[in-house]
Amino acid sequence: MAPFGKIYSYPNNPRVAKAQAAANINGLELEIPEFKMGETNRTPEFLAKFPFGKVPAFEGADGTALVESDAIAQYIAESGPAADQLLGATPAQRALIRQWISFADGEAMAPVSQLVIPRVGFRPFDAATETSALEKLERSLGYLEKHLAGRTWLATAEKLSLADITVASALKWGFVYAIDAEMRAKYPSIMAWYQRTIESEGVKQAFGEQKYVEKRELPKA
């Protein structure tokens, strides 16, 4: 079977993992071509398809061209036999799943990015930004912990959905660099759900081995 499409991005982009997981669950093959950020996405060929040069970018076998990671993940989720599982089978389910997808970007990925980016050397450390991001992340995790108490999945009862995959992808690098052992201990429901999600068939192949920071350190000057 020919690949369903290609995703262009730099390696280990957490915004790609959710699309890869959706493809795996749907039995769809994705190509990940060799890519160099700042070079591949500045070529005339790339910009002809994706004028802003943004990644991730998706090119379907049928010519469909998409940017914005949630649009890509939802398109892939809707394109296979697991569409109802991933995106919901009723209007209420679909709305709940979309709600959590929005939460992932605005309430989880945003503070996680502010904490991670200085720790990987892409931006100077700023103490005020760090404090604000930690406060926002704690609020978001507190809300998530309360919601998950007594639940298996975020938006559905029996099987994981794209809501779980998307929120997990937003937190993935947070666990590597910022959400340390002391912080994780406050959120047992989140940790049980996260482990359940990343060990699910199709997701574990996309996410790879998860690493956890033991103690959050300030970035080196």
pLDDT, one tens digit per residue, over 6-33 is: 999 998 888 999 999 999 999 999 999 9
Residue 205 tokens read as: 């192949």
The residues of the chain that CATH labels 1.20.1050.10 are 88-207
* Cis amide bond preceding 91, omega within 30: no
**Averages of pLDDT over each 10 residues, the chain, 221 residues:** 92 92 98 94 96 96 97 98 97 97 96 94 88 97 98 95 98 96 98 98 96 90 60
pLDDT score at 122? 82
Distance CA 219, CA 221 (A): 6
Sheet of strand 57-60: strand arrangement: 30-31, 5-8, 57-60, 65-67
Residue 41 tokens read as: 């996405």
pTM of the model: 0.95
pLDDT score at 1? 66
Question: Which of 28, 197, 80, 97 shows the shortest CA–CA distance to 7?
Answer: 28
88: left (phi over 0), alpha (psi -120 to 50) or beta: left
The residues of the chain that CATH labels 3.40.30.10 are 5-81
Q: What CATH architecture applies to the domain 88-207?
A: Up-down Bundle (1.20)
pLDDT score at 123? 84
pLDDT score at 11? 87
Cβ distance 72 to 20 under 8 Å? no
pLDDT score at 97? 98
Q: Would strands 30-31 and 65-67 be described as parallel, antiparallel, or unpaired?
A: unpaired
pLDDT score at 12? 85
* Cis amide bond preceding 56, omega within 30: yes
Q: Is 5-81 in CATH node 3.40.30.10?
A: yes
